[in-house]
Amino acid sequence: VKPRTMARVGELAGAKWTKSTCGLCSIGCGVEVASIDGELRGIRGRSDHPVNLGRLGPKGLGQWQANAHPSRGTTPRLRGPEGGWSECSWDAAMTRVAREIDDAISMHGPGAVAFYNSGQLLLEEYYTLSKIARAGLGTPNIDSNTRLCTATVAESLVASFGADGPPGSFADFEAADCIVLFGHNAAEQSTVLWMRIMAAKSGPRPPKIIAIDPRRTATAAAADLHLAVRPGTNIALINGILRQLIHKRWFDRAFIQANTVGFEELARTVEPYSPAKVEELTGVPASKLETAAEWIGTSPAVVSTCLQGVYQSHQATATACAVNTMHLLMGKIGKPGCAPFQFAGQPSSMNTRETGADGAYPGYRNWANPTHMKDLAKRWNVPVELLGKKPVTAPEIFEQCFEGQIRVLVVLGTNPAASFPDRDRTLAALRNVFLVVMDPFMDTETAALADVYLPTAMWGEKTGCMTNAERRCNLVEKVIEPPGEAKSDLEILVDLSRRLNLVDKSGAPLIQYSSPAEAFEDWKACSAGTIPDYSGMSYKMLAERGGVQWPCNKEHPDGTERLYVDPTFPTAPELVEGALKDFQTGHAHTPHEYKAIAPDGGRARLLTVAFEEPLDTVDASFPFVAISGRQVYHWHTRTKTAKVPELAEAAPRGFVAIFARDATKLGIEDGDMVRIVARRGQVIAPAKVGENVPEGVVFIPFHYGDLALDASADAIAPDLADPVSKQPVQKYSAVRIERVDGRDRWWREP
Ligand SMILES: Nc1nc2c(c(=O)[nH]1)N[C@H]1C(S)=C(S)[C@@H](COP(=O)(O)OP(=O)(O)OC[C@H]3O[C@@H](n4cnc5c(=O)[nH]c(N)nc54)[C@H](O)[C@@H]3O)O[C@H]1N2
Ligand SMILES: Nc1nc2c(c(=O)[nH]1)N[C@H]1C(S)=C(S)[C@@H](COP(=O)(O)OP(=O)(O)OC[C@H]3O[C@@H](n4cnc5c(=O)[nH]c(N)nc54)[C@H](O)[C@@H]3O)O[C@H]1N2
Ligand code: SF4
Ligand SMILES: [Mo]
């Protein structure tokens, strides 16, 4: 593979270098982007950026090449009566969209319109969308793909601490003595953070790394201890660790007494999880569990992350809470090197949650708290009756599309036809509505189904903010103009609000701004005094410093490295973002019920639950478990990375990883085509035979959702979700393996 991402010497002579931020993942690396004559030409890491100090990963280096791809949309398109698409003017497209929305609302009420958005847009865009949906149209149907990603993060932080907002900083990985990566393949998915961890590893105080993953991933291979947990048994493992901490007295009694509630119940719940019992349930040898607990319990500073191996499993919120509990037990939170790091994946999933484009309310306000809603209504100058509606989750939105209650669906910054579980039903739902798709690329699986396609600007072509996993708000800069007539999502949303005549209480336009900078000012005012307080930030400050961590206000003018340094948690009824939910049923306590059980004195909750078997049962007909996930070279449904030659060449097509002994038993050789059959749906792809997956497990990368290829991991995802966060279970399907005709061993070295 020719290294085309690195420009040849001399090729960039005379280029203009613009400071910005990588647009791909939640690490938020600082970059400088090269452009010549209005075209992107290259990229380099920003050496003065606190996140990456010049480093970049393969996707970060390659991303600029996607912008100029011929599949970029340059004009809006309308679907004609015969089903074909025709190009049209912006005015024609937007008139049609506004009319469909107006008609749906006048005939069926605001609930007939829905928005499914993203973790990859800009803060200013989410905020505007959130305001339009809630305060303009009054529809509760707004959620984002973070439902598939970090919905569990938000719920677990609310349940344990009272509000969303990950407490730690990336610097904690360098200050830690022990790093626990729970269902997080950091080497491939958080590349630059992994480089920082590796640098710490070769420094004077190398941290011990524990990787908890059924597969021997690149992360697990480099870890000091790999706990190869059986898929779907996370909570049994973490309960085992909690029990060891309690039995060995590796906990901080004074911290627990002063700052938490629930110790007795916790001790009772975890008591059955002896090392031997945990070995039986999870397959992790008792001695390894004991070692892990000892490292965690006796290291002065511990940082843990959870990611999709936790969030996309059943009992997801409970497991994430149990990791929070582990840190609370030891008082290892709010100090350097100490944090339960409920992680993020997408570059701006934090902003979706902060601004309320995901079903939460802006500023982590509690939709069920009338005081919070009155405050928001006042700041937006709209009737309070429009607000405080119970959030509707993405699976419920798709269900209502399927059933016909939702008539118009606007999809922006996500590709559900290739990433949403229960794919056949998802496709049917998308076909059953008036579908508006806003995307930079015309060739996505979702755009192919659109009634109206609106071409958008993408990274490098618009300005705004993205907040990374450590609460650092970074500025992303416009470097070049978007192609053809493509417009930024912000411009499109502002135009839509004008066409829909959305107004505030005094009859003035609801959205009074049009530029990103003005939108940011509006958000600053909305967030002032809330937990994610941005009021002290400015674009200039973000650009100069390489981002600022919220809260940033008069009290913290330089931002905040760590939350809960003073361990007072917002669990009081008047502060809490949402009421405690039952981990088995998902039942949320009413504000009245919550008052009776709320912890007093700003205490956090020590939470966990008993292990339950996954619901998609393994049996004689479906004897294997399929898990899905990512590879370092690709970003999700590959709308960008498939268009970067060296990334596409490194991982051109899908595969199914099968354990060598399982393959032998089934008479399958490396490269043979196999069919993976689940209770719902199937996948056909070549078998990659090896030792990286354990016995009884197959792994399918989820990047290859192309309808034609039949390799979509979501075709076999069961219709199951975590009861609390409603995050779908995309990491566990009971399956069988069948050999089919054909071979494709594309990974053979030349
Ligand atoms: N290269 C690349 N990087 C990315 C992305 C990308 O698409 N490509 N996407 C970004 C986004 S949005 C996200 S959310 C993150 C996701 O980052 P990760 O969560 O690290 O990625 P995944 O591969 O989805 O899942 C992680 C691991 O979970 C393991 N796993 C499966 N089942 C279980 C289980 O029951 N228990 C445990 N403990 N582990 C299990 C899988 O084997 C897998 O290695 O990555 C971000 N970074
Ligand atoms: N089986 C399985 N399924 C999964 C997962 C898994 O591990 N396994 N992971 C889940 C997770 S964690 C995630 S985050 C999701 C990701 O799922 P998706 O959100 O569907 O993934 P992407 O391919 O990133 O889609 C983003 C879309 O936004 C477009 N886009 C990019 N920039 C812009 C912009 O500026 N404006 C607009 N309007 N559009 C833009 C891109 O072209 C692309 O079409 O997938 C989920 N699905
Ligand atoms: S680690 Fe994430 S933010 Fe950094 S270069 Fe890679 S994709 Fe971009
Ligand atoms: Mo994600």
Confidence band for 1, pLDDT divided at 50, 70 and 90: very low
Supply the pLDDT for residue 705: 80
Is the minimum distance from the CB of 458 to ligand 3 under 6 angstroms? no
CA–CA dist 445, 148 (Å, integer): 18
Q: Which of 152, 189, 282, 700 to mutate to test the pocket of ligand 1 (most atoms within 8 A of CB)?
A: 189
Question: What is the average pLDDT score of the chain?
Answer: 96
Which ligand neighbours the alpha carbon of 474 most closely? 3
In tens, the pLDDT along 696-727 reads: 999 999 999 876 667 788 999 888 999 999 99
Supply the pLDDT for residue 620: 97
Supply the pLDDT for residue 11: 77
Q: Measured in angstroms, how far is the CA atom of residue 520 from the centroid of ligand 4? A: 25
Supply the pLDDT for residue 708: 61
**3-state DSSP of 583-633:** CCCCCECCHHHHHHHCCCCCCEECCCCCCCCCCCCCCCCCCEEEEEECCCC
Pocket of ligand 2 (CB under 6 A): 118-121, 145, 148-149, 308, 312, 345-346, 412-416, 419, 438-441, 444, 456, 458, 489, 628-629, 635-637, 639, 702, 713-714, 717, 730
Q: Measured in angstroms, how far is the CA atom of residue 450 from the centroid of ligand 2? A: 17
Which ligand neighbours the alpha carbon of 60 most closely? 3
CA distances from 489 to 60, 92, 452, 502, 526 (A): 22, 17, 15, 17, 20
Ligand 1 atom having least distance to the Cα of 344: 14
Q: Measured in angstroms, how far is the CA atom of residue 20 from the centroid of ligand 3? A: 12
Helix (H) or strand (E) holding 145: none
Supply the pLDDT for residue 697: 98
**3-state DSSP of 377-407:** HHHHCCCHHHCCCCCCCHHHHHHHHHHCCCC
In tens, the pLDDT along 242-290 reads: 999 999 999 999 999 999 999 999 999 999 999 999 999 999 999 999 9
Helix (H) or strand (E) holding 200: helix 191-201
Q: Whose CA is nearest to atom 35 of ligand 2?
A: 458
High-pLDDT (> 70) share of the chain, %: 98
Ligand 1 atom having least distance to the Cα of 307: 19
Q: Decide if pLDDT at 233 tops 60.
A: yes
In tens, the pLDDT along 537-561 reads: 999 999 999 999 999 999 999 999 9
CA–CA dist 567, 684 (Å, integer): 51
Ligand 2 atom having least distance to the Cα of 628: 8
Is the minimum distance from the CB of 347 to ligand 1 under 6 angstroms? no
In tens, the pLDDT along 343-355 reads: 999 999 999 999 9
Q: Measured in angstroms, how far is the CA atom of residue 642 from the centroid of ligand 2? A: 13
Placement of tokens 């009694």 in the chain: 253
* Nearest alpha-carbon partner for 701 in 221, 313, 215: 215
Q: How many CB atoms lie within 10 A of CB 6?
A: 13
Q: Measured in angstroms, how far is the CA atom of residue 351 from the centroid of ligand 4? A: 13
Q: Measured in angstroms, how far is the CA atom of residue 726 from the centroid of ligand 4? A: 15
Q: Decide if pLDDT at 201 tops 50.
A: yes
Is the minimum distance from the CB of 375 to ligand 1 under 6 angstroms? no
In the Cβ-directed half-sphere of 351, how many Cα atoms lie within 13 Å?
Answer: 31
Q: Whose CA is nearest to atom 40 of ligand 2?
A: 413
Is the minimum distance from the CB of 191 to ligand 3 under 6 angstroms? yes
In tens, the pLDDT along 611-667 reads: 999 999 999 999 999 999 999 999 999 999 999 999 999 999 999 999 999 999 999
In tens, the pLDDT along 673-684 reads: 999 999 989 999
In tens, the pLDDT along 70-111 reads: 999 999 999 988 889 999 999 999 999 999 999 999 999 999
Supply the pLDDT for residue 274: 98
Dihedral sign for Cα atoms in the order 513, 345, 715, 717: negative
* Nearest alpha-carbon partner for 571 in 328, 292, 241: 328
Is the minimum distance from the CB of 721 to ligand 1 under 6 angstroms? no
Helix (H) or strand (E) holding 320: helix 316-330
Q: Is 545 helix (H, G, I), strand (E, B) or coil?
A: helix
Q: Decide if pLDDT at 750 tops 50.
A: no
Is the minimum distance from the CB of 176 to ligand 1 under 6 angstroms? no
Ligand 2 atom having least distance to the Cα of 630: 7
- Spell out a b/e string for 514-547, using b for 16 or more CB atoms within 10 Å of the CB, else e: eebeebbbbbbebbbebbbbbbbbbbebbbebbb
Q: Measured in angstroms, how far is the CA atom of residue 541 from the centroid of ligand 2? A: 30
CA–CA dist 349, 119 (Å, integer): 4
Which ligand neighbours the alpha carbon of 418 most closely? 2
Is the minimum distance from the CB of 232 to ligand 1 under 6 angstroms? yes
Q: Is 492 helix (H, G, I), strand (E, B) or coil?
A: helix
Q: Is 409 helix (H, G, I), strand (E, B) or coil?
A: strand
Cis geometry, peptide bond prior to residue 532 (ω within 30 degrees of 0): no
Six token digits for residue 744? 């494709």
Q: How many CB atoms lie within 10 A of CB 467?
A: 28
Is the minimum distance from the CB of 189 to ligand 3 under 6 angstroms? no
CA–CA dist 501, 568 (Å, integer): 44
Supply the pLDDT for residue 13: 87
Supply the pLDDT for residue 749: 57
Is the minimum distance from the CB of 700 to ligand 1 under 6 angstroms? no
Strands (E), 118-160: 142-144
Q: Whose CA is nearest to atom 6 of ligand 3?
A: 57
Q: Decide if pLDDT at 130 tops 90.
A: yes
Cβ burial of 665 (10 Å; 0-12, 13-18, 19+) is exposed
CA angle (89, 94, 97) in 5-degree steps: 135
CA angle (197, 317, 138) in 5-degree steps: 110
Supply the pLDDT for residue 2: 42
Contact 704, 588 (CB under 8 A): no
Which ligand neighbours the alpha carbon of 635 most closely? 1
